[in-house]
Amino acid sequence: MAITTNDLKNGMSLNLPEGLFQVVEFQHVKPGKGGAFVRTTLRNVRTGGQLDKTFRAGEKVEQAVIDKREMQYLYRDGADYVFMDNESYEQLNVAPASLGSAADYLRESDSAILQMYGDEIVGVDLPAAVELTVTETEPGIQGDRVSGARKPATLETGKVVQVPLFVNIGDTLRIDTRSGEYITRA
């Protein structure tokens, strides 16, 4: 669907010759001399890179419609992740590369919102924090309570995070999905 640059809004997705982009910021500029233009900051939906681009006012651009579907992660099938659409109950095999870092936080029966552009997955929305169980870490020793000291811990999804010394195997931890850091014990 073609729109003009005068209709741009933050969060809108555009299909440009350079790729699929989301508008992070835009500014209409009307200089004293010459025609008006729109200065934008765009984020590549596939790679996450940023691009600063200037358009003439009224220039037509192609709007990309990104469909957000809530899906439930069911199980691993070989290397692929199998998701079920919560509305149509259709199953979808997803390659780990399409999920990116979101695969580190998914447990069976967890829900995620998959951003779809046509049949391609361009992003995954997860909750801000998830609760995962520690499967492997060094035991904490009584009296070993240095302030700010950390040790590695492997979670049930295979992700390794740095945790305080008092965390033990079997503890359930709250992990921030945006930064991948330990928040607290659950």
Average predicted confidence (pLDDT) for the chain = 88
Q: Name the pairing type of β-strands 172-176 and 182-185.
A: antiparallel
Does the pLDDT value for residue 143 go beyond 70? no
Residues 91, 76 contacting (CB under 8 angstroms) = no
The CA distance from 146 to 3, in Å, is 58
Architecture per CATH, domain 2-62, reads as: Roll (2.30)
Q: What local confidence, expressed as pLDDT, does residue 147 receive?
A: 66
Q: Which helix (H) or strand (E) element contains residue 95?
A: none
In the chain, ranges of CATH 2.40.50.140 domains: 68-125, 129-185
Q: What local confidence, expressed as pLDDT, does residue 52 receive?
A: 93
pTM over 0.75: no
For the segment 141-145, the average pLDDT, to the nearest whole number, is: 64
pLDDT in tens, 89-120: 999 898 888 888 888 888 888 899 998 888 88
Please enumerate in sequence order all residues whose Cβ is within 8 A of that of 86, keeping only pairs 6 or more positions apart, or say none.
69, 70, 71, 72, 111
Q: What local confidence, expressed as pLDDT, does residue 124 receive?
A: 86
pLDDT in tens, 14-61: 999 888 999 999 999 898 888 899 999 999 888 788 999 999 988 899
Neighbours of 32 (CB within 10 A): 4
In the chain, ranges of CATH 2.30.30.30 domains: 2-62
Between the alpha carbon of residue 19 and those of residues 8, 55, 62, 121, the distances in Å are 17, 16, 11, 14
| Backbone torsions φ then ψ of 52, nearest 5 degrees | -100, 125
Domain 68-125 has CATH 2.40.50.140: yes
Residues 60, 95 contacting (CB under 8 angstroms) = no
Does the pLDDT value for residue 162 go beyond 80? yes
Return the amino acid letter for 64: A
Joined tokens for residue 154 = 């492997």
Q: What local confidence, expressed as pLDDT, does residue 19 receive?
A: 87
Does the pLDDT value for residue 152 go beyond 80? yes
The CA distance from 37 to 139, in Å, is 61
Domain 129-185 classification at class level? mainly beta
Does the pLDDT value for residue 81 go beyond 80? yes
Q: Assign 141 a pLDDT band (cuts: 50, 70, 90).
A: low
Does the pLDDT value for residue 7 go beyond 70? yes
